[in-house]
Structure 1
Amino acid sequence: MSLGNHLYNARKNKGLSQEAVAEKLGVSRQTISKWETDETLPDIRQSKRLAMLYGLSLDELIEFDLDIREIQDVIDRTSEAVSEKIDWTKAWSRKYPVLARYQGQVDIPYYAAELWKLLIDLKKKYGYNDLDAFLVLKDILAVVWKSRKTQQK
């Protein structure tokens, strides 16, 4: 994504028109348009004011190679009903093929029973509901995975 596209999306996410942004910054609407079409770039002072106006840090405003914020927005907008319709194993197996084939290789009941014990323990010790216990366990697994990868380097 170009910087101009990023500026455009940040403005739209705040529900502002080019005119409104131009007025707040003391520039013309055409200037905002030129920034959003990558014809020109805002200077550092204008960039700082844009970041404040859009509720972003300056780093977030100019980070346009990979916009994690956009990914987070998609997650936030995904309703529980839609999320339940998604076959997450199938979706992620496109990136990680092992997810499409492990069911025929792994003793699932054994691991399920062990994981269930951990879920019950989290629920008892911390008062989590089923979903919260699952999410905490998933996050713990991610932390273990990341620390192991760091140790291997």
Structure 2
Amino acid sequence: MNLGNNLYHARKKKGLSQEDVAEKIGVSRQTISKWETDETLPDIRQAKQLAILYGLALDELIEFDVDLQEIQETIERMRDEVTNKIDWTKAWSKKYPILESYQKEVNITYYAEALCKLLIRLEKEYGYDELNSMLVLKDILATVWKKRSEKKS
């Protein structure tokens, strides 16, 4: 995505008109239009003002990804009752087919027992509840996986 498009989408996300932004930044509406169509670029001070106005870090504004932003906002709005109804394995298996087939190949009981011991240990040692223990363990596993992937690259 280009900067102009990023500026446009960030402004729309905040529900602001070009006139609103122009007034707050101290430029004309036409200037905002030119920035959003990539005819011209804001200077660094103006870009920083835009980032603040849109509630983004400057680098986020430059690399603004509407899809990622929408996903993050959707996750934040989602209630636990809704997330509990979702079959996450089925949902993710469309992207990662292994999630449909591994149950036939892997000794799930063996790994489940090992993971259960780790969950209980996190609960006892740190006083986490079951959900927080699972989230911490998931995050640790993701970190380990990322480090292993980086070493292979």
Alignment TM-score, normalising by the size of structure 2: 0.83
Please give the root-mean-square deviation of Cα atoms over the aligned residues, in Å.
2.3
Report whether the alignment pairs 1:147 with 2:142: no
Residue 16 of structure 1 corresponds to: 16
CA apart distance, 1:65: 6.1
- In structure 1, C-alpha distance between the alignment counterparts of 2:35 and 2:91, rounded to whole Å: 36
- Aligned letter for 1:144? V
CA shift for structure 1 position 39: 4.5
Q: 8 Å contact 1:2–1:65 — kept in the other structure?
A: no
Matched, 1:128 2:145: no
The answer to whether the 8 Å contact 2:6/2:65 transfers is no
Match of 1:46 in 2: 46
What is the correspondence of 1:3-152 to structure 2 with a 5 Å cutoff? 3-64=3-64, 68-152=68-152
**1:87-132: CA deviation from partner (whole Å, max 9, x where unpaired):** 2112222222111100111121222122111111111111101100
Contact 2:7 2:61 in 1 (8 A): yes
Q: Whole-Å Cα distance in 1 between the matches of residues 152 and 11 of structure 2?
A: 43
Task: Tell me the distance in 2 between the aligned counterparts of 1:66 and 1:9.
Answer: 7
> Partner amino acid for 1:26?
G
Instruction: Give the total of aligned pairs.
Output: 153
Q: Give the SS at the match of 1:84.
A: helix
- Aligned-pair CA distance for 1:70: 4.1
Structure 1 residues 13 and 94: CA distance shift in structure 2, 3 A: same
Deviations for 1:123-143, whole angstroms, at most 9, x for unmatched residues? 111110110000011111112
Preserved contact between residue 22 and residue 29 of structure 1 (Cα < 8 Å): yes
| Offset, 1:38 | 3.9
Taking every aligned residue pair, what percent have the same amino acid on both sides? Answer: 69
AA in 1 matched with 2:94: R
Runs of at least 5 residues in structure 2 that lack an aligned partner in the other structure: none
Shift in Å, 1:44: 3.0
Contact 2:9 2:66 survives alignment (8 Å): no
1:13 shift after superposition:
3.2
